[in-house]
Each structure stands twice: as C-alpha cells, then as structure tokens.
Structure 1
Amino acid sequence: MLLQEALVSLSILLLVSVVTSADPTFNDDVLGLIVFKAGLQDPLSKLASWNSEDYDPCNWVGCVCDPATNQVTELRLDGFSLSGHIGRGLVRLQSLHTLVLSNNNLTGTLNSELTQRGTLQLVDFSGNNISGGIPDGFFEQCGALRWVSLGGNRLTGPLPVSLSYCSTLTHLNLSTNQLSGRLPREVWFLKSLKSLDLSHNFLQGDLPLGIGSLYDLRHINLSNNWFSGHLPSDIGTCSSLSLLDLSHNYFSGNLPVSMKTLASSSFTFLRLRGNSLLGEIPDWIGELATLETLDLSANNFSGNAPSSLGNLVFLKELNLSANFLTGEIPQSISNCSNLVSIDVSRNLFTGDVLNWNVAFLQGLRLLDLSSNEFSGEIPSNIWMLLTSLVHLNLSTNSLFGSIPSAGIGIGVGGLKLAEILDLSSNLLNGTLPSQIGGAVSLKQLHLQRNHLTGQIPPHISNCTSLNAIDLSENKLSGEIPGSIGSLSNLQYIDLSRNNLSGSLPKQVEKLTHLLTFNISHNNITGELPAGGFFNTIPLSAVTGNPSLCGSVVNRPCLSVHPKPIVLNPNSSNPSNAPPLIRKSVLSISALIAIAAAAFIAIGVVAVTLLNVHARSSLSRHDAAAAAAALAMSVGETFSCSPSKDQEFGKLVMFSGEADVFDTTGANALLNKDCELGRGGFGVVYKTSLQDGRPVAVKKLTVSGLIKSQEEFEREMRKLGKLRHRNVVEIKGYYWTQSLQLLIHEFVSGGSLYRHLHGDECVCLTWRERFSIILGIARGLAYLHGSNITHYNLKATNVLIDAATGEAKVSDFGLARLLASALDRCVLSGKVQSALGYTAPEFACRTVKITDKCDVYGFGILVLEVVTGKRPVEYAEDDVMVLCETVREGLEEGRVEECVDARLRGNFPAEEAIPVIKLGLVCGSQVPSNRPEMEEVVKILELIQCPSQEFE
C-alpha cells in the first residue's frame, strides 16, 4: 500500500512538473495541495474541487487566500473524514498561517518541516490517530506559532524541551494522548501562554515551581495523569487564572495558602477531585468570590465545612462528597442562589436536613445528601421549590416525619423533571402522597426501609418511565393497584415486608421486562398469575402470604382447576430425560460452540508451534539478567538501566516508591516451587520485595511474537495507570527482546476456578457468589470505560482476595499486543484456551470484535458461579453446554436445578433467578442483544437484596 501511494505521488509530481514548465501561472500552492491530496483517502469526495487543471486554489474547498497575492493563507479541513498521512506537500505553502486538519482519521507521525517555515500561527491536528513522539524540531523554529492543538491522538514519549522556544504560544492542547515522563520546568518559560491542557496522559512526578510566572495563564487542565507531591506553592500568583483542573492525580498535602490570592482574578472553576489532599477546607475558600464550580470530592478533607462557602454567590456546582467532613452544613450556603448541583454525600455531616433558606433550591437539578447523619423533617414546601430537580437523594440518614404532599406533582411546582427520587433507609412515616403520579419523568423511586403507611397510590401509573420501584420494609396496606401493569419499562419491583392485602392484579402479567418482583411477607390472597415472568417466580419472592395459592407456593386454589403444564415446544430435552443432562440431539448453539471449540483447538496447536522458538530463546542468561534487574533499587517511577544494555534490559516500576526486589525472590523465577499457575500468555511466579511484600511476576511465553518494544511499553504504561478495587494492579514490567516480565499485585486467595472446582474448595455461600459476580461486573465496566477490552475472561483470570472476598479481574489487555502477529481466530485459541467462554463472533471474520465479547464471557461466568458447573462438561456419549442447560431448566420451572446443589434451600431465589436471567442475556449469541457492562452493574445493584439471611 505504501509503495502504491509513493508511485501515485511520484506520478503527480512528474505531471505537475510538466504542467509547471508549460504554464508559469501554476504556482507552488497548487503543487503542494495536489501532492498533499495524493497521500489522502477522501471517501466523501470532499476534495473533489481540488483539480490539477485548475491553477487557482483560492476556489478550492477549505482554502482561504490572501486577495493581494492569491496565495493560500488558511487550510481548514476539519471533519472531512479524511485518512492517510500528512504529506510534505503542505511545506510548499509558504504563506500558510492557519492549518486545521482536526477530527479526521489521519495517521503517521508529526513532520517538523511543517512548523519550521516560520509563518504558521495556528496548528490543529486534534481528533486523529497520529502516533509516535513529538519531535524536538516541531517547536525549534516555531516563529509566530500561537495556537497548537494535538489532543485526541496517540502521541507517546516525553514533552520536548524545545517547547519553551515558542515565546508567542498562547494555547497548547496535548490532551488525551499517551505522553509520559515529567513535566519539564521549561514549560513555565512560555510567558504568553493563556491555556494549557495536558489532561488524560501518563505524565508523572511533582509539578515544578515556576507556574506563578505565567501571569496571562487563564486555563490549566492537568487532570487524569500521575502527578504527585504537593500542589505548587506559587500557583496563586497566576493572577489571570479562571480554570484549574488537577483532578484524578496523586497530589497530597494541604491546599497552598497562595491560592486565596486568586480571588483578585475571574477564577470560576476549581476541580481537585480524586487526589489525596487532606486537612480542613480553609476558610479563605470563601474569598474566591467568582467561583462557579468547586469540586473537592474524593479526597481526605476533614473538619467542618467553612461558613465562608456562603460568600460564593456565583457558585453553580458544589461537590464535597466522599471525604471525612463533620458538623452541620453552614446555613450561609443559602446565599448561593445560583447553585445547580449540590453533592455532599458520603461524609459525616449532622444536623437538621435542609436547614437553610430553602428558596435558593429552586434552580437545583441535583441534590445528594445521602450517607450522612442528617436528621429532622423534610420541609413541607420542598416539592414546590424543586422545580428543576432531576436527581434527589436523601437516603441513609435519620430523617423522620411524613413525606410532604403539598405541591408534589402539581403544576409547574411539581417534580416534572425528576428522574431519581431516593428517600430510602430513613425513619419516615405517614403515607405515600397520591400526587406522586405528577412526577412523569421519574425512572427510579426508592422509599424502602422506612415506616410508611397507607396504600400505594394508583396514580403512580402516570410515571410511565419508571424502571425501578422499591417500597419494601414499610407498613403499607391495601391492594396492589392494577394500574401498575401499565408501567411497561419496569424491571425491578420490591413490595416485600409490608401489610399489603387483596389479590395480585392480573395486569402485572403485562410487565415483560421484569427481572425482580418481590411481594413476600404481606397478606396477598388468591391465585398467582400465570405466564411470562410468573412461570419462574421463586418461592422466596412470594413466601409469607398465607392465603396465596398456586403451584409456586404448593397450595391448590379452591374451585380452580389446575392448569395444564405447557412445555417449551423448542426444547430439545425429552420429558423423561434426567435434569441437566441431554441425551438427544444437541441444539444449534451447542453445535456452534463445539465447532468453534474445535476450530480454536487448531489455533492453539498453531500458536504452540509458533512459540517453540520463542521459548527456546529464554535462556538462563535472560532469567539471570532479569533477576539482576529486579534486584535494582527503583528510585523513580521510570528508573531503568540504559536501553542499549542487553544484559540487564529495562525495568520500569509504576509505584514511584523505592521498591527493592530481593535477589533470592527474583531468582525464584527459575524455581518451579514458586510457580502460581500457567495461562495462555505465560507462567506466573510469586516473589517478594525486600520489605517482605509479595508480588506476582508473569513471565510471558509469547516473547517471540512481541517485536516492538515501543508498543509493548505503551500498552504497559496504559495498563499501569489502572486503579480499581476489582482490577489487579499492574506494578511494573521488565523488557528485553527475548524476555518480558509483568509485575503485578499478589492476590492471596487464588483464582475463582479454584474456589469453584478445586479439589479442596470450600463451598461459597450465595452472598459470596453474588459479591464475586458484582465485583467482576464492576471491574469489567471500569476496563471498558478505560477503553480496554479483556478478550480473555474466564474463571482462572478472576482472583479472589482472601482477606476481603473481593473479586479482581486479571490478565487483561495482553491480547492487544498479539493482534498484529496473529489473526483473530488463532488469537482466540491462544487467549480463550478454556472451552466455553468464547463469543461466537470470534469464528466469523465479518463480525467486529468489541467489548461485547467480554460481556458474553461474563454471562458464562455468571452461570458458572451460580451453578458451580463448568461452561462445557462431558458425560458418557454426551456434551453438556451450560448456557443451553440452564436456559431449558429455567423455562421448565426447574429453578432449584439451576443453582449449585450445595446451596439447595439456602439461597434467595428473588436474587438467583434475575441473576441467572441476566447471565443468559449477557451470553446471547447475538452481540447487539448483550447489555453494556455499566448497565449490568446497575441491574445487579437493583437485584441485590438487603437480607442477611443467606450469608
């Protein structure tokens, strides 16, 4: 392809040379633009007007000329869907001062020649796929350069020191790349700089002093990096600063006092969330009078919230959540009449809830006071004041009194925009106001664990968007309104542990999306409905209703003839076949799974042959070199031996600590006694730091297939930044051409596979199993949110923390390194070496491989955890495919047989059945039918019951 492009470019150059010699009006701009176009693919024909026979480029799309000279001064091609490389042709445009190629699909590396002409003032290549480092020459002769935007690409390596030469630079955006290393002090030499955005990279270390000399700096965004240490003490002398975002880093210590001098500027935005800042929130914060956003969440702040917050009269967003703040919310906050969002959840605040001048609540869209120690009554006029509210969460406090009825859902003063209303886990009494039906946008209603009385208002059916209703553990009475059957979006209903009576309305049979329906421990009478969800409703979801009859409660209904059992006509299991074993013809999906497994097995053989040479090259010299390297003291995050030293290779640690490996522990890489396990990518050993802390080291057995050190290190830096309680932390790596090691945290409890199928495994309780499923879901959702597809999800790649019981997803991200060396079918055999977890699209080259592959594997894992059975099991003359077996058992009402026999009678069916259904949905053969992992997490959190009965 590259050869073809070169020939095309050469042909154009020859053509242009002929035309140029024949016609003196054919200028350099035409020549440069035609050559530039030759290196592009233009699928939408946006550049159709660029014609070599037209000697005037001023009429070409995207070109702007100087009317005096007819030379191109601006080239704007943003959002043209162009691909290809940024060729040298643009160098010929000698009068060009504006070059905008943003939001295309351009690849290749940066060309220093573009900026060395001295005329360019604005360069915008953002939103492309440009890779490689930023060459020093790109900024060495920047001349009049004022605006540079390279954000949203795949740039790697450090920031060049030559950046400091651009004395006229006012805007610099290098965000959302893979830049690494420390921030050079020379950046602060850019005295004209007004905006600096380096967010979403892998930059590390302390911020050097000197930022205070940038008197014109207005916006600085360094969020989502690895910066550490204290905030710069001179940051307050940036007298023009209006936006400061240092969130999601590793900053520690107190807020620097110099920040209060920012009060003299138009300082409107301060976000420091997700660091390790501590101490009290200083009183001088109220002197930053122009602030509109203040976000100090997810830090370690303590003490009282300062009353000076009331001085921030322009404040729109206040977020102090997830700290250790105590005392009362200062009443002065009612002076902040422009507030749109207040989140002070997950602290230790006390006092009367909303003990403010509530008139200022009228503009609020989000109010979250949950998980504190608030008390008191909800103000009677609150609903009339919350005219713009979308999200209200007052849960897990000590609120008492009744839910105010005046104004709820009435006219313009009602909850017309509210989507989430959560008053759960309080001490509220009285009735649920009938006007709740006016909250027509409501999606979630949580009032569980209170002391509410009276009836469920039938007007709740007006809330047509509802997908979750939880009124459990109250004192509600009367009948369940039949109108609830019109809420077609409902997935979760919990009315358990109340005093409800009457028969269950037939209309609830229309709720086709139900995952959970719990009416247990009430006084419901009559016959349970039949059909749909109610064919599989668990006994625990209806128990505690003495006058309820039907097959589920094993109590016949008087004067009602028993209904015939209707078997699934598509079931391949004969009625006399033993449960969970099929002796007849396998289903189509089972045959597909078996065929895919055979195809994968061939792939495994192929990969094994490819790796013979790679494994043979791992000599004792390599292992000894690795041991020596691991014994080095790592003083900085990227401390390593010289890259040309092949004896020791390159050791990188992400912790930033002086981690010292015990030489004896490193030598254990050659000791099979320290081997923890073997997988599709390599062998894992346990070793220790010199302070005794254990770590796990994976010695990759695919070394011969990883040719690019740059690509390997780029992927490792990306993986090393991941921090989540349900994801195994990558601590570092070691590289030589023939040996690669991955250093990650040691998880003491071993693999999920061992807990489910090991010879000495102890039976997991239902609560432990549910926690493991939820942990895996959260870990996967985090990986997908970080743009990482696992590809290799199976029970052996989920580890269990022995101390907490938490599940941790491991062995992620490595498949991407092999994607260029192997086709995906062979790769799937190498990665998915455990039979049964492979998504069916791996066997089809025309289907795109996405995160939905992980969702499929997760669905199979869910069923494996619930049933205690492997994804594929073999009996004499038969194969049992777990997904098919569970689906048939569920459809035929054999719920008990779909749960691990060791848990029989000791699990909550109201949780188990929705979980099984969720696993089947995730394991759908069609990728588009599988939910996103974020949705899966939300569903599991809704399914989870508060009962401790099955611990």
Structure 2
Amino acid sequence: MFRLPFVVIVLFVSSPLTLCLNQDGHFLQQVKGSLSDPTHSLSDWNDCDDTPCNWTGIACDPVTLRVTSISLSSLQLAGPFPIFLCRLPSLIFLSLPDNSIGSSLTPDISSCQSLQYLDLAENLLVGPIPDTLSQIPNLWHLNLSSNNFSGGIPASFGEFRRLERLNLASNFINGSIPTSLGNISSLKELSLAYNPLLQSPLPSELGNLTSLELIWFQACDLVGQIPASIGLLSRLTKLDLSMNRLRGSIPSSITGLKSIVQIELYENSLSGVLPSGMSNLTKLLRLDVSVNHITGTIPEDLCGLPLECFNLNENGLEGSLPESITRSANLYELQLFNNKLNGSLPSQLGKNSPLRILDLSYNGFSGDIPSHLCDIGALEDLILIANSFSGKIPESLGNCQSLSRVRFKHNELSGTVPERLWGLPHVYLLELEENSLSGDVSTMISGAHNLSQLKISNNRFSGLIPEEIGSLGNLIEFSGSNNMLTGQIPGSLVKLSELGKLDLSDNELSGEIPVGIQAWKKLNDLNLANNRLYGEIPSEIGGLQVLNYLDLSGNQFSGKIPLELQNLKLSLLNLSNNRLSGSLPPVYNHENYRSSFVGNPGLCGDLPDLCPGIGRSKKRAWVLGLVFGLAAIVLVVGVVWFYWKYRTSKKNKEGIAMSKWRLFHKLSFSEIEILDCLREDNVIGNGASGKVYKVVLSNGDVVAVKKLWGGTKKEYGTVDSEKDEFKTEVETLERIRHKNIVRLWCCYETGDFKLLVYEYMPNGSLGDILRSGNGGLLDWPTRYKIALDAAEGLSYLHHDCVPPIVHRDVKSNNILLDGEFRARVADFGVAKALVTVSKGEEAMSVIAGSCGYIAPEYAYTLRVNEKSDIYSFGVVILELVTGRLPTDPEFGERDLVKWVCTRLDRRGVDHVIDSNLDSKYKAEIGKVLDIGLMCAATLPINRPSMRKVVKLLQKAVAENKTKKAKRDGMLSPYYYEEDSEQRVGEEEIAADEEEMEREISA
C-alpha cells in the first residue's frame, strides 16, 4: 500500500524535467542545422531546455515564453537565409549583420508578418530585393546594406506605411530611384549610398517625405539637378549627395531646411553661386561643397552662421572673402583651399571666433596675414600655401601655443620670422619655403620639441645654423636649400637619429662634414651641394644603409673617394666639381656614372677623358704597375689564409648547420651551400634590417635568402615591441600552406645574424615593376590575375587560418611574382594573429605598415583587424589600375585614394587608368577600380571582407567570360590551380563552378 503512492509522487515530481523543447525551440534547431557555425557560437542551442529563451542571441516574451527577438551579429554564420525564422509567430526583431549569409532572399520573406525590425547588413546576399517585403505590415526598420543585391529598387516599396529607416547602401542596385518612394510618409532615414544607379536623377517626389531626417545618396551615379522640392524637408538634419554627377545650381529653396545640421555636396558638377538666405539655416554645423564649379562670392549672411566646419575646397569660387565672416562666433574650422578666391582676408578674422583650422591654400589671396587669427588661442592648423600673401608674418603668431602645423609655402612674405614662432612647442610642421623671408634661424628653435619637418628652402635666411637644432629629437626632415646660411654644419646635427632628409644645398656653408654621421641610420637623402665644404668625404657615409640620394657636388672636397660608398644602393650619386683624386671605386668605374665625377681634375678611372691632362698615360701605367704588384702579394697571402680558414671553418659550419637550421619542407639542397653563397655579388635587395641574396645552388635550384642582423631591430613603424621580425616571420609562415603565400623553405639563427630561405620569385615584386617604369610589361589580364592571386592569399589568412592572421604591411612591394607573374603575398615580419576573436581587433604598441597604405583608423587608434589589410589591398588595386605610387608630390596633401576620387569626378575614368593598358579592357578595369575604392573606404564598416573581395574580383570579369562562352558554344569553367599541399577535389570544383554560374546568371 506504501509503494503505489510513492511511485505516483515520483512521477509527478520528475515530469517537469522530461518536458520537451517547445515549438519555437524546434524551429530554431532547424535554423541552426541549416547554418555553418565555425566559432560554435550556437553551441548552447540544444534540445535539453524546455524553451530557447536563455540561448545565445534569443529573447522571449516573459509571459508567453515565445521568441520575440533574435540578435546574432558578427558570428561568422554562413549558409542561406534561414526562412524557418518566419515560422516564429511572435518574432518582431531579427538582426543578423556581419555574417556570411548567402544565396538570395525569396519572396517567402513576407511570411515574417510580425517583424518590425530586420537587419541583414554586411552579408553575401545576392539577386534582386524581394518586392514582397512591403507586405510586412509593421516593419519600421529595414537594413540590407553591404550585400550583393542587384536589380532595381522595387516600386512596391512605396506601399510601406510604417517604415522609418530604409538602408540599401553598398550593393549593386541599378536602375532609377522609383518615384513611389515619395509615398512613404513615415520615412525618416533613406540611405542608397554606393550603388551604381545608372545615371538616375533625383525624383522631385522626395519632397513629399516631410518626416525625413537623413538622406545619404553618396556615390550613386546621380545625374541632373537637385530638385527645388528638397527645400520642403523641414525636418532634414543631414543631406549627403556627394560624389555624384549632379549639375546645375544649388536651389535657393535649400535655405528652407530649418533643421539642417550637415550639407555635403562635394565632388559633383554643381555650378552657379551659393544661394543667399543661408542665415535661415541656424542649426547648420557643416557645409561641404568642394570639388564643384561654384562661382561668385561667399554670401555675407552665410558668414553669420554658427559654423562648426566650413569647407568649400577645390571649387571655382571667385571674389573676396567678406569681412562679415568674422561675426561667426562659433567658427572653428575654415577650409577654402583649391579655389579662385582673391583679395585680402578680413583684418578681424579670428578675433571673435575660436578658429582651430584655417586652410586657404591654392587661391589668389593677397595682402597681409591677419594678426588676430589666434586671439582666442585655439588655432592648430594654419595653411596658406600657394597664394600671394605679402608683408611680414604677424608677431602675434609667435604667442600661439596651440599651433601644430604652419604652412606658408609659395607666397610673397618678407622680413624676419617672429622669434617665438621658431620655438612653438606643439608645431610638428613648419613650412616657410618659397618666400622672401630673411634673418637668422633663432636659437629659440630648441623649444620646438615636437618639430618633425623644418622646411625653409628658397628664402633669404642668413647667419649660422644654431647648435640648438640638434636638440630636436623628432626631426625627420631639414630642408634649408637656396638660402644664404654661413658657417659650419653644426656638429649637434649628428644627434638627430630620426633624420631622413637633410638638404642644405646652395648656401655658403664651410668646414668639414661633422664626425659621427653614422648615427643617421634612417637618412635617405643627403644634399650638401654648392657650398664651400672641404676635407675628405667621410667613409662613414658608406654605412648609411638606407641612403638613396647623395649629392656633394660643387664643393671643395679632396682626397680619395671612400671605397665604402660601394655598399650603398643609390638612385643618385653626384660628387662632381670638387678636388677629389685617385681612382674610382670599381662599382662606379663605368660610363653610367660619368656625370657623377666630372670636374675633379685629379680623379682617374677607365672612363676616357675623365681626368684630362699631360702625363695621364704614364701616371696610369705607374698606378697599374703598383696595383698589380700589390695584387700579387695579396693573392699569395690570400691563398694561404683562405686554405687555413677553409679547413678550420668547414667543421664549424657543419656543426652549426646541424644544430641551428629549422626545416619546414623536404629540401633537395644542402644548408651549408646557403652559407657559402652569401656574397655581395649575389645581393638583390637591401634594407634597414638586412639584405636579400639570390642563391643559385649546385643542383640548379634558385632560392632567395633574407639575412637579418642579430638581435631585435625595432625600426620605426615596422616591428612590434612584443616580437622581432624574424620570430614573427617564422611563426607565421611555418604553419601556412597556400599557393598565393610565399613558401619559407627553412631558417637559421645565431647571435650574429639570422637567415630566412624562401622560394625565389624571378620577377621580383609588383612594386619594383610598377616603379621602375616597366609597368608596360604588365598587361591588364596579368594585372587582374595578380590582384586576384593576392586577394586569395589574404582571404586565406583572414578566413581560413585559426586564429586569423592580419598581415599589417600589405603593399605592392610585398607582393612577389613568379616566372609566370603569379602572385605570392610575402614579408610577414609584422603579421599578427588575432587571438582575441571575440573582439576582432588588438591594440598595437607601434604603427606597422608603409606610408600611403595605412588605414586611417589604424594610424589614429593603433587598433588592428582584418579591415586594415583590406584598406591596404584597396590601395594596391588602385596602383594596378593607375600605375601610380600610393603617395606622390603631384597629389599634394592627398594620397592615391583621394587623388583617384577627385580625378574620377573631374575627368572621368579615362584619366585615371594607366595609359599602358589596352582600352578594350576599360569595362573590366572600371569594375576592378570600383572594388579598390570599396576596399579603401574611410569607414572600416564600409569595406568588404577579403572573401567577398575575391568573389567581387571574379565577378568583375564574369560577364566577359560568359559572352565568350556563348560565342564558343560552351561555358568555360573558372581556372583552378592545384597545389601539391592544398588540392581541390573534383566534387568541390564542380560545386564551385555551379555556384559561380548561378551568380553569373543572377
């Protein structure tokens, strides 16, 4: 009688523990099964729970326990859109951004009838946008940005009744903007930026959207005029129509935008004048109408606005700057560079405004520089390049402690520089070139602790260079050519270990070159030409490993040319017109260097007429006899020494090789052969950290050997403080196997030096070819294949390595080319494994990378992730398309990315593409150019992943491949290379081809 109740009680108590997962949970299990989850983020989605309410990314109604919200952003989820989610009857919030959701959205998406919020941004969705989305009755937020959607914007979108935010930016949407969008009276934000809308005009019906607060139509290929109806949007706070092809004048109705905070109309073809009545825009903080064809003057009523940033750069504005601009009490940034403005600046400019940035470069301004620019003490950047300013530099600027950049190049300024201006503590760039300034360089310059660039060339400065300049530890460039400086080169200059350029040519300097210049380890350019310097040329110059330009011509140097100069890899050498004597160093004793040595009567070599004069042949014979005699002695001594050295060192090398070499592949050569071939005549590259040798082995194989100096060389901006270059390179490459990553055969390490032995790439680096003037050797198909190969290599690093690897120094010099111009990504000395996958980025102790390639956010924050590599790769694509360097004096303040954007707008794609490329590939080149600009987007969120970049590059030529296939009667398969260490099965190839064919047809 006791057992039965006990059993009943036990069953009753235990029944809750055996309840099944509810229906919503079963639907989510089906969703999980349809997706790839490489990071196991959905591991807690299991059927042991009764509800899914505590699962990752899931939120439920507290009463009904039905799923109401799903948020699974940035989890690397892959697969088709999980339509099973639409079976969740209470789901109102669905957010899946920054994943790899692929395929297309089917019309069934409309079955998600309860949805109010849908975010599928930054995925791999393709095909048309379903026109059934408007059938979801309560949807107020729709974000499909940064996908691969194509086709037009559905006209049915005009049927939305509660939609407030519509973001379709960064897709491949074409066609025109449907006028039906003007029917969405509830719309507050409309973003269509970065879509090829095929020369779409702006519909005037947009003026019906009276609730609109944001319009973002940047880079949409818009044409026509800005409709006057835009002025009806009284709630609009941001209007961005930049980087399009809009023409005509700015409508005067724009002054009706009562709530506007920011207007961006730059890089269009707008003309006419700035409309009057801008004083009505009382909330305006930013106005950018740069890179247009605006004419006339700046309206005086505009100058009374509380502007935060006023930018009208690179226009065709004419007329003077009105005095009333000084009434802007909150004006802190005024940029009017690259215009045709003229006249004098208002004398009260800056007196009542906290000016922080003033850039009036490349105009026709004249007269004095106003003395009140820094009255409030906030001025940081004062840039007046290429105008006609005259008179003295105001004394008041010497008291402006906030200044960081002063650029007065190419004006007509005269008189002395205010003494305190030389020593301002925060100035890092002082550029006074190409004026008529006079007087001394003040000893107060010792206070300019932050100064990195001092440019005073082409003036009338005189007197001594002060010894105090040697205290500027951050100085990278000192250009003082074409002045009247006298006295000796101060010995304190040798303390400047960061110095990269020293140009004191065309002055009246005398004395000898200071002792201790071997401290200039980073010196790239040394120009002391046309002075009165004397003495011998110091042999220490030969130890400046990165020196590229050396000009000591037009002085009184005497004695012999140091043989150590042969250690340099110089692009320019000029020792002409001195008093040098003796023989030429063997490296320079040939016709190519004749002009480098002329005008030295006592200097002889094998070059005819180099040292004309009577008795030359006798002197030469005597010298030759002496040389041969000495050579005989050296030969005998050398043979004896070599035999002894060979016997004693062979055993040492064999022992070292056995213990120090690390092999990563099966080798067909002896490691000892490598050591025997590291001779100067085999050097093919030279840098601050070591040399690179081409080594031809006895079996005919060729390898490249990088020899690094011993210890950890932490050169500026190249090596992390945590690891040295050698260790990072080895740890990275020893675990990588990919056809587009350079192979590391083996490595060797001692206390004296370290060796890295790679596969040899006979065509060198992409950068070398593009910069050597041989870019014509690379036709477009070859350049395209190089871009695709490099993209696949970087995609492997970002997506297939565990943990992912960020290269951190992607540039054309680090893309090597084999005998068939197939590309390999190389140089992993500063690579970084992202071990903090959850954060996706790490903080670095120093900036790694090269000028022109560094992503904007990396340079400022030192936060690194794969988006930094993607920006750098975008610059490489632009190099391939344009054939230009990432930085060039022709670009001025801009880099290649900004130069391309500006030139595209002004002159079109024909004036951007490298002239060496065949015009029949113009369509393909244009598509690849667009991909490069996407990669080099200012905001990291707008850059595609490397996996997406590979697909975009493949699709860039897919259309032409399909046309050719139709002509040939078959669809040619994509080309797959098979690697012995990474083979692709036939089934995988077939599946990839099928997927590609679907994408092409879509």
TM-score, scaled relative to structure 1 = 0.58
The residue aligned with 1:566 is 564
* CA deviation after TM superposition for structure 1 residue 190, in Å: 1.3
Q: How does 1:286-685 map to 2 (within 5 A)?
A: 286-312=279-305, 314-362=306-354, 364-385=355-376, 387-406=377-396, 408-409=398-399, 414-416=400-402, 418-436=403-421, 439-529=424-514, 531-532=517-518, 541-551=527-537, 552-553=552-553, 565-566=563-564, 576=586, 584-585=681-682, 588-591=692-695
The residue aligned with 2:28 is 33
Asked whether the 8 Å contact 1:393–1:423 carries over to 2, the reply is yes
- Matches of 2:150 and 2:291, distance apart in 1: 29
Asked whether the 8 Å contact 2:308–2:333 carries over to 1, the reply is yes
Asked whether the 8 Å contact 2:497–2:522 carries over to 1, the reply is no
Asked whether the 8 Å contact 1:116–1:140 carries over to 2, the reply is no
Match of 1:113 among 108, 112, 125: 108
Match of 1:152 among 125, 146, 151: 146
Asked whether the 8 Å contact 1:157–1:179 carries over to 2, the reply is yes
Cα separation, partners in 2 of 1:380 and 1:281, compared to 1, 3 Å: closer
SS at match of 2:53: helix
The residue aligned with 1:601 is none
Residue 246 of structure 2 is aligned to residue 248 of structure 1: no
SS at match of 1:196: strand
Query: Which entry has the higher C-alpha Rg, 1 or 2?
Result: 2
- Matches of 2:563 and 2:170, distance apart in 1: 59
- Matches of 1:449 and 1:783, distance apart in 2: 25
* CA deviation after TM superposition for structure 1 residue 341, in Å: 1.6
- Matches of 1:812 and 1:339, distance apart in 2: 41
Aligned-CA RMSD value: 4.7
Asked whether the 8 Å contact 1:252–1:278 carries over to 2, the reply is yes
Cα separation, partners in 2 of 1:596 and 1:23, compared to 1, 3 Å: farther
- Matches of 2:81 and 2:40, distance apart in 1: 17
Cα separation, partners in 2 of 1:586 and 1:477, compared to 1, 3 Å: closer
* CA deviation after TM superposition for structure 1 residue 589, in Å: 3.9
* Per-residue CA distance 1:628-680 (angstroms, 9 max, x = gap): xxxxxxxxxxxxxxxxxxxxxxxxxxxxxxxxxxxxxxxxxxxxxxxxx9975
* CA deviation after TM superposition for structure 1 residue 247, in Å: 0.9
Q: How does 1:46-125 map to 2 (within 5 A)?
A: 46-125=41-120
- Matches of 1:506 and 1:470, distance apart in 2: 20
* CA deviation after TM superposition for structure 1 residue 583, in Å: 11
Residue 184 of structure 2 is aligned to residue 201 of structure 1: no
Cα separation, partners in 2 of 1:846 and 1:469, compared to 1, 3 Å: farther
* CA deviation after TM superposition for structure 1 residue 40, in Å: 4.0
* CA deviation after TM superposition for structure 1 residue 115, in Å: 4.1
* CA deviation after TM superposition for structure 1 residue 374, in Å: 2.0
User: Which protein has greater RCO, CA pairs closer than 8 Å, 6+ apart?
Assistant: 1
* Per-residue CA distance 1:815-867 (angstroms, 9 max, x = gap): 96897699xxxxxxxxxxxxxxxxxxx999999xxxxxxxxxxxxxxxxxxxx
Cα separation, partners in 2 of 1:780 and 1:261, compared to 1, 3 Å: closer
The residue aligned with 1:277 is 270
TM-score, scaled relative to structure 2 = 0.55
- Matches of 1:343 and 1:355, distance apart in 2: 17
Asked whether the 8 Å contact 1:28–1:92 carries over to 2, the reply is no
Cα separation, partners in 2 of 1:249 and 1:87, compared to 1, 3 Å: same
Cα separation, partners in 2 of 1:194 and 1:469, compared to 1, 3 Å: same
* CA deviation after TM superposition for structure 1 residue 799, in Å: 2.1
SS at match of 1:191: coil
- Matches of 2:534 and 2:180, distance apart in 1: 77
* Per-residue CA distance 1:222-269 (angstroms, 9 max, x = gap): 11110101112322222322221111110111222332332xx31222
- Matches of 1:592 and 1:184, distance apart in 2: 66
Match of 1:223 among 218, 224, 241: 218
Match of 2:170 among 145, 168, 176: 176
The unaligned stretches of length 5 or more in structure 1 are 1-19, 599-605, 607-676, 684-697, 706-767, 789-796, 802-808, 823-841, 848-951
* Per-residue CA distance 1:717-742 (angstroms, 9 max, x = gap): xxxxxxxxxxxxxxxxxxxxxxxxxx
The residue aligned with 1:135 is 129
* CA deviation after TM superposition for structure 1 residue 358, in Å: 2.6
Asked whether the 8 Å contact 2:218–2:242 carries over to 1, the reply is yes
Cα separation, partners in 2 of 1:514 and 1:77, compared to 1, 3 Å: same
* CA deviation after TM superposition for structure 1 residue 550, in Å: 4.1
- Matches of 1:448 and 1:591, distance apart in 2: 48
Cα separation, partners in 2 of 1:271 and 1:95, compared to 1, 3 Å: same
SS at match of 1:99: strand
* CA deviation after TM superposition for structure 1 residue 183, in Å: 1.0
Q: How does 1:691-840 map to 2 (within 5 A)?
A: 781=897, 798-799=914-915
Cα separation, partners in 2 of 1:239 and 1:406, compared to 1, 3 Å: closer
SS at match of 1:359: coil
Residue 259 of structure 2 is aligned to residue 266 of structure 1: yes
Asked whether the 8 Å contact 1:321–1:347 carries over to 2, the reply is yes
SS at match of 1:309: helix
Q: Aligned letter for 1:322?
A: E
- Matches of 1:136 and 1:500, distance apart in 2: 73
Cα separation, partners in 2 of 1:183 and 1:462, compared to 1, 3 Å: same
SS at match of 2:318: strand
Asked whether the 8 Å contact 2:682–2:694 carries over to 1, the reply is no
Q: Aligned letter for 1:466?
A: L
SS at match of 2:31: helix
Asked whether the 8 Å contact 2:328–2:353 carries over to 1, the reply is no
Asked whether the 8 Å contact 1:550–1:556 carries over to 2, the reply is no
Asked whether the 8 Å contact 1:340–1:365 carries over to 2, the reply is yes
* CA deviation after TM superposition for structure 1 residue 533, in Å: 9.1
The residue aligned with 2:866 is none
* CA deviation after TM superposition for structure 1 residue 517, in Å: 1.9
- Matches of 2:44 and 2:565, distance apart in 1: 66
Cα separation, partners in 2 of 1:154 and 1:334, compared to 1, 3 Å: same
SS at match of 1:228: strand
Percent identity between matched residues is: 29
Q: Aligned letter for 1:188?
A: G
Asked whether the 8 Å contact 1:514–1:533 carries over to 2, the reply is no
- Matches of 2:785 and 2:353, distance apart in 1: 61
* Per-residue CA distance 1:569-612 (angstroms, 9 max, x = gap): 799xx9756768999556554349997899xxxxxxx9xxxxxx
- Matches of 1:318 and 1:499, distance apart in 2: 40
* CA deviation after TM superposition for structure 1 residue 110, in Å: 3.0
Asked whether the 8 Å contact 2:358–2:381 carries over to 1, the reply is yes
- The count of aligned residue pairs is 625
The residue aligned with 1:239 is 234
* CA deviation after TM superposition for structure 1 residue 306, in Å: 1.3
